[in-house]
């Protein structure tokens, strides 16, 4: 018990919050869920034996709970995976006990908004137990030890359940279930949680293991960078190949900005990647990219889906949401489908597609391990040149993704929502503006400080994608007509982007780039 208290103390210190970005996300979403719950004044949420959640509460509450649980699980796994933990008697057991206690506290705290709305306690706990089982399985050490098919099946099931419970309809079924069903789900969820956390991972950083990981990572990076650098010199670039026609397997080609490559690169001794030839025809079609985005300066994080890839993933989201909505509707009405209700629920589709697309746009700012290496070896010239190369590519990515999202989502929103078709161009413009603007939000902290912590960038990225984009798209297709000032607000994204596109590259060149380890444990 003494050891558990010792481990538990960490959760009350900044140590718990450092490098644990999901917690920030959880805080944000939980705040929204609490706000909705405590500003709700409905007399009852029970309708025909079904507990109905207030509009949009379920998604925020679920995301907040999931993020909080993942944050605690992250703290647990990162503590116990170190060889130091194995070498310290009692530490793993203590961390285990502490994680269980904190998870219990999180579960009880996040039950409050649902209890405030009048949901039965046992059912709330059942719902949370499912979330627990999904959230604590986020560690990759355990699954890595499993056979590949089992690992894939497990990942698939976790993903499907996670998405399914983002739907209020799914949560409402659990919250309305008879007590014995809730008790059963609670028992299963808790058992899975305990089993998952009891798993004793082999230390990730085995002696030499780290070096192996770093070597493989750096080899991979080196290979890509050499390809990137080579691609920047027309004389040594493979001519007429798939890459020239836009079929890019990994997108690992550098952008053509000033400076000169190292002699080794210029010698032209590097052979073109065989990866360019790899993949089936469909895969190549999915990976097809416009010429302006075929050579991202940061290969790992700036690879952007091409139009076919974007369309395919959006259609998958659309179909998946449709199937889920139909299933939930059928459950709720005993097989009688109400298309009007399904259509209304499908408004989630444009929101989700825009949100997911926007979220990936600034992720390159969070992974900076490659930057010093690229700056030195890939011939970008000065830091300013490299920063400009990054932001030029960012602008192209943002414009292309936002344009595709606007083209795809605005008609969807109008079809499922309350807007008129005459407002299609305006809606497309608003989506485009919000998405491009949101993609520049994570660059904002660069203007004010020389040392930008990844956590701050992460929060601004979430603010852009989950708050601005999701809220913007939700408001756009709401049943109520938008006031003019709100239309204006949606279009603020464009001037903001223009200003940021001008200021951010200089700011990025000025700030410190932390030399982060290639393989974090």
Binding site for another protein (CB under 8 A): 3, 6, 10, 13, 15, 18-20, 78, 81-84, 86-91, 94, 202-208, 210-211, 520-521
- Rounded least distance, CB 83 to another protein, Å: 6
DSSP 216-250: HHHHHHHHHHHHHHHHT-GGGSPPSSTTTTTB-SS
Q: Closer to another protein at the Cβ: 208 or 335?
A: 208
Q: Closer to another protein at the Cβ: 86 or 363?
A: 86
- Rounded least distance, CB 71 to another protein, Å: 12
CB atoms within 10 A of CB 160: 12
What tokens appear for 55 in the block?
Answer: 């509009």
Q: Closer to another protein at the Cβ: 151 or 237?
A: 151
Dihedral sign for Cα 73, 76, 78, 81, please. negative
- Rounded least distance, CB 183 to another protein, Å: 37
Q: Closer to another protein at the Cβ: 42 or 202?
A: 202
Q: Closer to another protein at the Cβ: 206 or 283?
A: 206
Q: Closer to another protein at the Cβ: 209 or 279?
A: 209
Q: Closer to another protein at the Cβ: 90 or 268?
A: 90
CB atoms within 10 A of CB 417: 19
Q: Closer to another protein at the Cβ: 316 or 520?
A: 520
DSSP state of 468: I
Whether residue 92 contacts residue 86, with contact meaning beta carbons closer than 8 Å, is answered with yes
- Rounded least distance, CB 459 to another protein, Å: 17
Q: Closer to another protein at the Cβ: 25 or 465?
A: 25
Q: Closer to another protein at the Cβ: 8 or 249?
A: 8
- Rounded least distance, CB 125 to another protein, Å: 31
The residues facing 46 across adjacent strands are 51
What tokens appear for 365 in the block?
Answer: 């700012």
- Rounded least distance, CB 199 to another protein, Å: 15
- Rounded least distance, CB 73 to another protein, Å: 15
Residues 6+ apart with CB under 8 A from 209: 203
Residues 6+ apart with CB under 8 A from 459: 21, 24, 28
H/E stretch holding 260: none
Q: Closer to another protein at the Cβ: 20 or 478?
A: 20
**CA 94-98-99 angle, 5° bins:** 115
What tokens appear for 8 in the block?
Answer: 């538990």
- Rounded least distance, CB 138 to another protein, Å: 17
d(CA 165, CA 171): 6
Residues 6+ apart with CB under 8 A from 319: none
What tokens appear for 475 in the block?
Answer: 């408001």
Q: Closer to another protein at the Cβ: 5 or 278?
A: 5
Whether residue 33 contacts residue 137, with contact meaning beta carbons closer than 8 Å, is answered with no
- Rounded least distance, CB 153 to another protein, Å: 23
Q: Closer to another protein at the Cβ: 32 or 80?
A: 80
- Rounded least distance, CB 213 to another protein, Å: 10
Whether residue 82 contacts residue 141, with contact meaning beta carbons closer than 8 Å, is answered with no
Residue 4's SS3 state is: helix
CA–CA distances in Å: residue 153 to residues 129, 143, 148, 150, 156: 20, 10, 9, 5, 5
d(CA 68, CA 34): 14
d(CA 194, CA 103): 11
DSSP 295-351: S-SSTTT-----HHHHHHHHHHHHHHHHHHHHHHHHHHHTT---HHHHHHHTTHHHH
- Rounded least distance, CB 242 to another protein, Å: 34
Burial class (CB in 10 A: 0-12, 13-18, 19+), 140: middle
């Amino acid at each position: 018990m003494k050891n558990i208290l010792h481990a538990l103390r960490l959760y009350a210190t900044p140590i718990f919050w450092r490098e644990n970005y999901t917690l920030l996300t959880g805080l944000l979403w939980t705040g929204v869920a609490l706000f909705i719950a405590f500003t709700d004044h409905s007399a009852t949420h029970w309708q025909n034996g079904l507990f109905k959640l207030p509009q949009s509460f379920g998604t925020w509450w679920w995301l907040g709970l999931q993020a909080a649980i993942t944050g605690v699980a992250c703290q647990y796994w990162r503590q116990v995976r170190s060889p130091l933990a194995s070498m310290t008697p009692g530490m793993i057991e203590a961390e285990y006990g502490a994680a269980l206690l904190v998870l219990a506290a999180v579960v009880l705290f996040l039950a409050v908004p649902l209890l405030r709305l009048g949901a039965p306690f046992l059912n709330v706990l059942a719902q949370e137990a499912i979330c627990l089982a999904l959230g604590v399985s986020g560690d990759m050490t355990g699954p890595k030890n499993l056979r590949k098919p089992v690992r894939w099946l497990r990942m698939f099931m976790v993903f499907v359940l996670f998405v399914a419970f983002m739907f209020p309809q799914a949560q409402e079924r659990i919250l309305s279930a008879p007590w014995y069903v809730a008790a059963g789900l609670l028992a299963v969820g808790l058992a899975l949680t305990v089993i998952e956390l009891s798993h004793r991972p082999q230390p990730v950083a085995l002696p030499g293991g780290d070096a192996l990981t770093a070597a493989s990572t750096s080899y991979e990076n080196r290979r890509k960078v050499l390809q990137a650098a080579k691609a920047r010199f027309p004389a040594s670039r493979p001519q007429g190949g798939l890459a020239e026609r836009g079929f890019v397997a990994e997108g690992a080609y550098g952008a053509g900005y000033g400076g000169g490559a190292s002699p080794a690169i210029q010698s032209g001794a590097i052979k073109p990647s065989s990866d360019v030839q790899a993949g089936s025809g469909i895969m190549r079609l999915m990976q097809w990219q416009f010429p302006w985005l075929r050579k991202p300066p940061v290969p790992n994080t700036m690879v952007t889906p091409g139009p076919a890839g974007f369309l395919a993933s959006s259609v998958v989201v659309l179909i998946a949401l449709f199937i889920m909505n139909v299933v939930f509707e059928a459950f709720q009405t005993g097989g009688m489908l109400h298309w009007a209700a399904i259509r209304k629920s499908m408004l989630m589709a444009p929101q989700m597609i825009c949100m997911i697309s926007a979220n990936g746009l600034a992720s390159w700012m969070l992974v900076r391990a490659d930057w010093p290496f690229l700056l030195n070896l890939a011939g970008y010239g000065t830091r300013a040149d490299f920063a400009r190369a990054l932001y030029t590519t960012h602008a192209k990515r943002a414009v292309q993704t936002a344009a595709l999202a606007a083209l795809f989502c605005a008609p969807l929103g109008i079809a499922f929502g309350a807007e008129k078709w005459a407002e299609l161009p305006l809606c497309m413009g608003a989506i485009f503006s919000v998405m491009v603007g949101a993609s520049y939000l994570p660059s904002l902290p660069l203007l004010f400080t020389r040392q930008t912590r990844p956590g701050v960038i992460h929060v601004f990225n979430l603010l852009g994608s989950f708050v601005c984009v999701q809220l913007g798209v939700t408001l756009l297709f709401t049943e109520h007509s938008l006031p003019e000032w709100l239309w204006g607000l949606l279009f603020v994204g464009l001037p903001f982007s223009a200003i940021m596109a001008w200021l951010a590259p200089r700011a990025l060149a000025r700030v410190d780039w932390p030399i982060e380890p290639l393989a974090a444990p």
